């Protein structure tokens, strides 16, 4: 089985703390990411959220925080209700002068059903790229 991992990096002209808040504050997350009922950047915290597929299918994402190092690293497992597979999402923050580099890694994509286009590498790559280069960037510039 070929390992499939999405890696996306983007730099923002803000502090690591501002990005950390965007990644961990549920009220801020819903402005650019997903609308979560609750979120805590604490190891062991479990959360879920709904998302839509390409044709409007509803998917329930099941996640559990595996690592939380304030202003540096956030990691959580990522699964889907009623589908096999388990992946890992990692956000890493690096301060570079007046900017902060955010590196997102989503590994384990090959464990999801490969006959479903919503679970294709290209779908995840496109989704994460849009989230980080468009929605998060706009949120950080306007808030």
Residue 3 is predicted with a pLDDT of: 85
The 10s digit of each residue's pLDDT in 37-73 is 999 999 999 999 999 888 888 999 999 999 999 999 9
Residue 112 is predicted with a pLDDT of: 96
The CA distance from 124 to 52, in Å, is: 13
- pLDDT band for 136, please (50, 70, 90 cuts): very high
Burial label for 137, CB within 10 Å (0-12, 13-18, 19+), is middle
Question: CB of 93 within 8 A of CB of 100?
Answer: yes
Query: With a threshold of 0.85, does the pTM exceed it?
Result: yes
Smallest CA-to-CA distance from 62 within 72, 76, 75 is with: 76
User: Given strand 73-80, what is the order of strands in its sheet?
Assistant: 5-12, 99-107, 87-96, 73-80, 58-69, 46-52
């Amino acid at each position: 089985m070929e390992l499939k991992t999405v890696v996306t990096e983007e730099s923002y002209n803000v502090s690591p703390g501002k990005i950390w808040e965007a990644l961990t504050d549920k009220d801020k997350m819903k402005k650019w990411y997903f609308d979560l009922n609750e979120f805590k950047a604490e190891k062991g915290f479990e959360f879920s959220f709904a998302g839509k597929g390409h044709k409007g299918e509803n998917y329930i994402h099941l996640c559990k925080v595996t690592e939380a190092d304030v202003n540096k690293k956030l990691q959580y497992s990522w699964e889907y209700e009623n589908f096999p597979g388990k992946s890992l999402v990692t956000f890493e923050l690096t301060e570079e002068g007046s900017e902060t580099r955010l590196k997102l890694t989503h590994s384990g994509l090959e464990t999801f059903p490969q006959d479903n286009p919503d679970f294709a590498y290209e779908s995840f790559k496109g989704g994460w790229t849009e989230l980080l280069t468009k929605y998060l960037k706009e949120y950080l510039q306007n808030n």
